[in-house]
């Protein structure tokens, strides 16, 4: 009975998968990555914005890998960088850099390995980024990509083969807790507003050609050293009030990822559980890959999270690889490496239903 049931399930699974994807005869990984979101993915867009106050284009940012600061909000590579290395392609340039090159004539076209649109300090909700911050809102990131597509500045077949990374929402949730309690909306309502914007984002990039959509969860924002800047946030433990909101948002992202192929026929979605990967390291204590999972390697004040890395009065640890957090909010290169490995070839517990090595290698069958 058990064997016959298992055989039936296997046959059903084969039939279902055959209607959505087919495997290439020879492995042909995605040739490009397009990234949207905040500082977790930002490759340096903010350094091209003259009025931006959210920057990482000065030492010691990037110091563990790059000869000079690139504007990445960590000490080296980020998740898109590691995945690019796994794919065998160059790191993506920030859109602002590539766009300047195209406009000046120094570049004939946009790079064929993808573009990074992410901007540190941005959020999902309109208004999360104030004008004073001088960052690129998610809607404007979409507009930048849309302009490239509609002006035929990038090949549609390349877009359809590419991986599309989305990670955003930490700033929306942090801002929620930073605002006066009497002015806050209901937390569940706030999360639902965020998720409605993400759903719109997915539909937009799909309409512009995206077919391999990777929704990355938020990290455990309530454990970030930057929580020390909040008056009522605990110092000796993670802020679980904040993490409850993060988990609610991540749950909604996961549900959206599961329904991408129905919402957007001919496409596939997958969910990367960054929260679970990092929270596991925080929870296992002595057995963690990191000797310090609480404080920032680079920063100042309580938990190293009250002063930005690289700004006057900061301190920097000697061994960044021993730290989970690089600065107030962003992981170290070593933490990103762990995340990237789990996303690339990990099990369903950390990325589902497809890990990136599978998603990058699937040949999609166009919707009827």
Contact indicator for 308, 299 with CB cutoff of 8 Å: yes
Distance CA 174, CA 125 (A): 12
pLDDT at 28: 62
Question: What CATH architecture is 28-275+347-364?
Answer: 3-Layer(aba) Sandwich (3.40)
Identify the band that residue 61 occupies on the pLDDT scale cut at 50, 70 and 90: very high
pLDDT digits (tens, 9 = 90+) for 30-49: 999 999 999 999 999 999 99
Beta carbons of 274 and 165 less than 8 angstroms apart? no
Model confidence band, residue 364 (pLDDT cutoffs 50, 70, 90): confident
Q: What is the DSSP letter of 331?
A: B
pLDDT band at 4 (very low <50, low <70, confident <90, very high): very low
Contact 214, 274 (CB under 8 A): no
pLDDT at 20: 43
> pLDDT, tens digit, for every residue of 280-312?
999 999 999 999 999 999 999 999 999 999 999
| Per-residue pLDDT, 130 | 72
Structure confidence at residue 128 (pLDDT): 86
Compute CA distances 361 → 21, 87, 115, whole Å.
10, 10, 20
Nearest Cα to Cα of residue 272 among 337, 346, 200, 329: 346
What pLDDT band is residue 19 in, cutting at 50, 70 and 90? very low
Task: State mean pLDDT over 236-264.
Answer: 97
pLDDT at 269 over 60: yes
What is the structure's pLDDT at 7? 45
- Cα-based distances in Å from 127 to 36, 92, 137, 139, 335: 17, 27, 8, 11, 30
Spans of all domains in the chain: 28-275+347-364
CB 62 within 8 A of CB 33: no
Residue 285: both structure tokens together: 């204590």
Mean pLDDT over each residue of the chain, to the nearest integer: 91
> What is residue 22's predicted lDDT score, i.e. its pLDDT?
41
Q: What's the whole-model pTM score?
A: 0.92
Among all chains, which residue has been given the structure tokens 């809102």?
A: 137
| pLDDT 10s digits, 174-230 | 999 998 887 889 999 999 999 999 999 999 999 999 999 999 999 999 999 999 999
DSSP 137-151: -HHHHHHHHHHHHHT
When pLDDT is averaged across residues 106-120 and rounded to a whole number, the result is: 96
Q: Are 259 and 289 in contact (CB under 8 A)?
A: no
What's the pLDDT score for residue 39?
98
């Amino acid at each position: 009975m058990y064997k016959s049931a298992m055989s039936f399930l296997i046959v059903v699974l084969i039939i279902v998968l055959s209607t959505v994807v087919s495997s290439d005869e020879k492995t042909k990984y995605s040739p490009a990555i397009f990234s949207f979101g905040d500082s977790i993915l930002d490759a340096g867009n903010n350094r091209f914005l003259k009025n931006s106050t959210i920057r990482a284009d000065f030492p010691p940012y990037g110091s563990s890998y790059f000869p000079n600061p690139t504007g990445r909000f960590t000490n080296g590579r980020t998740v898109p960088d590691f995945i690019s290395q796994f794919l065998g392609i160059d790191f993506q340039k920030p859109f602002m850099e590539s766009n300047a090159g195209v406009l000046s004539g120094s570049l004939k076209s946009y790079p064929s390995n993808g573009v990074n649109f992410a901007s540190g300090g941005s959020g999902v909700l309109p208004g999360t980024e104030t004008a004073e911050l001088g960052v690129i809102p998610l809607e404007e990131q979409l507009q930048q990509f849309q302009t490239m597509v509609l002006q035929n500045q990038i090949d549609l077949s390349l877009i359809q083969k590419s991986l599309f990374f989305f990670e955003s929402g930490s700033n929306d949730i942090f801002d929620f807790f930073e605002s006066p309690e009497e002015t806050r909306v209901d937390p569940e309502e706030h999360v639902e507003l965020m998720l409605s914007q993400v759903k719109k984002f997915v539909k937009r990039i799909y309409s512009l050609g995206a077919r391999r959509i990777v929704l990355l969860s938020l990290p455990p924002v309530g454990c970030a050293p930057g929580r020390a800047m909040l008056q009522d946030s605990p110092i000796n433990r993670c802020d679980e009030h904040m993490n409850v909101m993060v988990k609610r948002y991540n749950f909604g992202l996961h549900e959206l990822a599961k329904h991408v192929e129905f919402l957007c026929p001919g496409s596939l979605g997958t969910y990367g559980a960054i929260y679970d990967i990092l929270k596991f390291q925080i929870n296992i204590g002595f057995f963690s890959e990191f000797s310090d999972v609480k404080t920032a390697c680079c920063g100042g004040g309580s938990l190293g999270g009250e002063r930005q890395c690289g700004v006057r009065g900061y301190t920097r640890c000697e061994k960044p690889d021993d730290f989970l957090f690089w600065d107030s909010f962003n992981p170290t290169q070593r933490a990103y490496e762990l995340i990237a490995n789990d996303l690339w070839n990990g099990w369903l517990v950390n990325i589902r239903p497809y890990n990136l090595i599978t998603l990058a290698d699937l040949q999609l069958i166009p919707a009827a």
